[in-house]
Amino acid sequence: MRAGVGSGDKSEPNSPRTAEHVAIIMDGNGRWATERGWPRLVGHRKGAERVKEIVRCAPDIGIRWLTIYAFSTENWKRSTEEVLGLMSIFARYIEREADRLAAEGVRMRFIGDRSKLDKKLQKLMAGIETRTASLTRLNLTVAINYGGRDELTRTMRSLAAEVAAGTLDPSAINDALISSRLDTADLPDPDLVIRTSGETRTSNFLPWQAAYAEYEFTQTLWPDFTPQHLADIVARFGNRDRRFGGVVSA
């Protein structure tokens, strides 16, 4: 499923648009902890608790797909203590939330390069993906060891190998084919991308998929980002007009 499947593209003129796929750059965990004189990992643990609340409320405000940026390909540059702590938090989240996610109809999947992740974590990820594969109330996608440029590089290498082997005609490479080879091949493109903490960078998150998404940058740090914050942003999104293409004169 690709661009054009969201209800925002199918709504009647002047009717509110629905952000069916919301992607979130969850920024500000470390800063939240530092401002309180606590270790950064305390902020990450608080951020994981916030994820639970956002996942629980998302379907009630019309969100069918929720994609969260948990760990980027650049995050390996952080201290070993913080990286190991984050991986532990990810594993605990899967172990502790598996039953609740399944009971609430949440399908969980992951995007990114798993090859560098701990084998135990990879096993937990695969297990919850299998367990929740048939659930449909909410599609939760977690980007872990994900980077948009890395994703596109891996995709281009794969296509180039097929061209070199003679199994793919270069003229067959188009937007649809590239989209079908990305980590997000089974997801619609995001309608709305939110970044918390006041930063206004996209940080290599879904660059291909979010080409026509609306963006909202909020000053709120992720651990303070409540379901009401999400509902307010989604409501504002509903009143925006979506225009495809480049800049046009008024």
Q: Annotated catalytic sites, by residue?
A: 27, 75
Adjacency order of strands within the sheet including 214-217: 106-111, 138-146, 65-72, 21-25, 192-195, 214-217
Q: How many CB atoms sit inside 10 A of residue 90's CB?
A: 22
User: Measured between alpha carbons, how far apart are the two ends of the chain, in Å?
Assistant: 32
For residue 52, what is the DSSP state? H
CB 223, CB 46: distance < 8 Å? yes
Question: Per DSSP, what are the bridge partners of residue 68?
Answer: 24, 142
Per-residue burial over 228-237, b = 16 or more CB atoms within 10 Å of its CB, e = otherwise: eebbebbeeb
Closest CA to 54 of 89, 106, 94: 106
Long-range contacts of 162-165 (CB under 8 A, 24+ apart): none
**171, two tokens:** 């003229």
